[in-house]
Amino acid sequence: MNLKLKHIIVAALLVFLSFSSANAQCIDLVKTKGFTYLDTSKYIPEARFNSLPLREGDDVDIYKSFFKGRNYRIVVVGAENMPKLNFKVTNFQRQVLYDSNITKEESWDFASDKNQNLIISVEVPKAEKDKKPQSGCIAVVIGFAY
């Protein structure tokens, strides 16, 4: 095997291992902080949750279907080193249904009065000037009441 191919394989392996480590940390955030705020004694977590690494100044939109007659809780949490996250829930016309900048809460409880697709927009505030932006995991966990 030539030297160039070995370097490529080693580089690919390092990228994979660093991604796996970050992904494991994000899953731990869901299990510890996310499920705690969800309150699994009242809400059943959906089988699929969103967790990913972000940096200060980043944002992400998550598209989700909600069904008529169900009571939901949406939880948005970040790693300890991250600033307080802001999140909004909007419909596809971008009408705001919930804004955590107003309530200052990590979760929102609501009853869906119809089948609908909503957008959960998460924003990590920008780093202060002269400071290196922090990076860490964020998690969006959704559960429904039983």
pLDDT tens-digit series, residues 67-102: 999 999 999 999 999 999 999 999 999 999 999 998
- Quick check: helix, strand or coil at residue 139? strand
Strand partners, 88: 99, 121
The domain 3-145 is placed in CATH, from the list 2.60.120.380, 1.10.10.10, 3.30.70.20, 3.40.50.2300, at 2.60.120.380
Nearest to 94 by CA among 73, 69, 63, 138: 63
Domain range list for the chain: 3-145
What angle is formed at CA 105 by the lines to CA 102 and CA 107, rounded to 5 degrees?
120
Q: What is the pLDDT of residue 47?
A: 79
Give the whole-angstrom CA distance, residue 78 versus residue 72.
20
What number of H helices and E strands is found in the chain?
A: 3, 9
Q: How does pLDDT run across 99-132, given as a tens digit for each residue? A: 999 888 999 999 999 999 999 999 999 988 888 8
